[in-house]
Amino acid sequence: MSPLALPGPLVDVHWLAEHLDHPDLLVLDAGVGDHRGEPLPISGARVFDLDGALSDHADPRPHTMPNAAQFTAEVRALGVNDRSTVVVYDGAGVYSSARALWMFRAMGFDRVAVLNGGLPAWAAAGLPRAAVTSVPVAVGDFTAAPRPGLFVDSATVLAALADDSSAVLDARTRERFAGTAPEPRAGLRGGHMPGAFNLPFGELQSAGHMLPPTELRARIHELTGERERLLFSCGSGVTACILTLGAELAGYRDLAVYDGSWSEWGLPSELPVVTGS
């Protein structure tokens, strides 16, 4: 029997409700901070802890991608198998769930989708929720097959900024991009990478849902023109993944996330920073 197939990288609450009891389906709450689905998550959901075990805490930057061994161990502990189909969500609509999807992709796993509208859409539809419990989980057999290049470093971003066939898009607010608003993390310079484009992640959404693919394509194309190689940055590598999701829905395929994002680039260093819009 074939594993449960997804309609794409984004599913709605009706699709999830229809398949919630499928034996291959796992639902993961990938919320961070106040955007976690507790105390009443989607029925049966398990916690994909981006603030905890699913970040590399040996790295001083926040929310850094863990290595393959750590990722494998943590998602196996959640019960993820090689034949699983995974739906990730958060409590904000579409926020950190997009980061969880990109992490799975970077580890070679494609049967994963984001719940459009997240927990707010699920709750608004009156669909099943349940109190958090500590039910034992059977350890999965997930096997990572890392894909180099889905997460990139500052040297790759520097090269892309100088490459006319590539574009770097920054998901932070316009004020942070321009350097007119302070950075929320102490010690970071204000401003942006020279040559980067500003596309605040909220401009790809409406009421916590991703815009339709044609609108996503139009918004990205307006900035990047015919460039098909797109790299994404933000404050700590989380909301950059919303842009990645939007670009994938829009039909772009050559995509990468700068894992260090402004938490690294904004530190005092020789990495270039400019201010203004």
Confirm whether 80 is domain-assigned.
Answer: yes
Is 89 part of a structural domain of the chain?
Answer: yes
Out of 124, 159, 174, pick the residue that ends a domain: 124
Give the pLDDT confidence of 24-80 residue by residue, as tens digits.
Answer: 999 999 998 776 766 678 989 999 999 899 998 787 777 889 999 999 999 999 999
Annotated catalytic residue 241: no
Residue 135 has pLDDT above 80, yes or no: no
Asked whether residue 106 falls in the same domain as residue 162, the answer is no
* Residue 137, in any domain of the structure: no
Number of domains in the chain: 2
Catalytic residue among 80, 107, 234, 243: 234
For 124-153, what is the mean pLDDT?
Answer: 90
Tokens of residue 149, six digits: 């290049």
Token pair 């502990």: residue: 77
More confident residue, 242 or 57: 242
Query: Residue 133: inside a domain, yes or no?
Result: no
Of the residues 108, 124, 140, which one is the last residue of a structural domain?
124
* Strand spans (E) along the chain: 10-11, 25-29, 46-47, 85-89, 112-115, 151-152, 166-170, 197-198, 205-206, 209-210, 229-233, 254-258
- Asked if the structure places residue 4 within a domain, the reply is no
Closest C-alpha to 66, from 53, 77, 48: 53
Range of the domain at 187: 151-265
Q: Could you give the CA distance from residue 52 to residue 237 in angstroms, rounded to a whole number?
A: 15
Which tokens in the block code for residue 126?
A: 């009156």
Residue ending a domain, choose from 89, 124, 159? 124
How do residues 77-118 score in pLDDT, each as one tens digit?
999 999 999 999 999 999 999 999 999 999 999 999 999 999
Distance, in Å, from the CA atom of 135 to the CA atom of 133, rounded to the nearest integer, reads: 6
3-state secondary structure of 137: coil
Same domain, 110 and 27: yes
Predicted TM-score of the model (pTM): 0.96
Give the list of residues 6+ apart from residue 191 with CB closer than 8 angstroms, or none: 177, 178, 179, 273, 274, 275, 276
CATH of the domain at 208: 3.40.250.10
Write the DSSP assignment of 102-130 as a string of letters.
HHHHHTT---EEEETTHHHHHHHTT--B-
Q: Is pLDDT of 162 > 90?
A: yes
- Same domain for 32 and 89, yes or no, is yes
Q: Please report whether residue 141 resides in a domain.
A: no
| 229: in domain | yes
100 within domain boundaries = yes
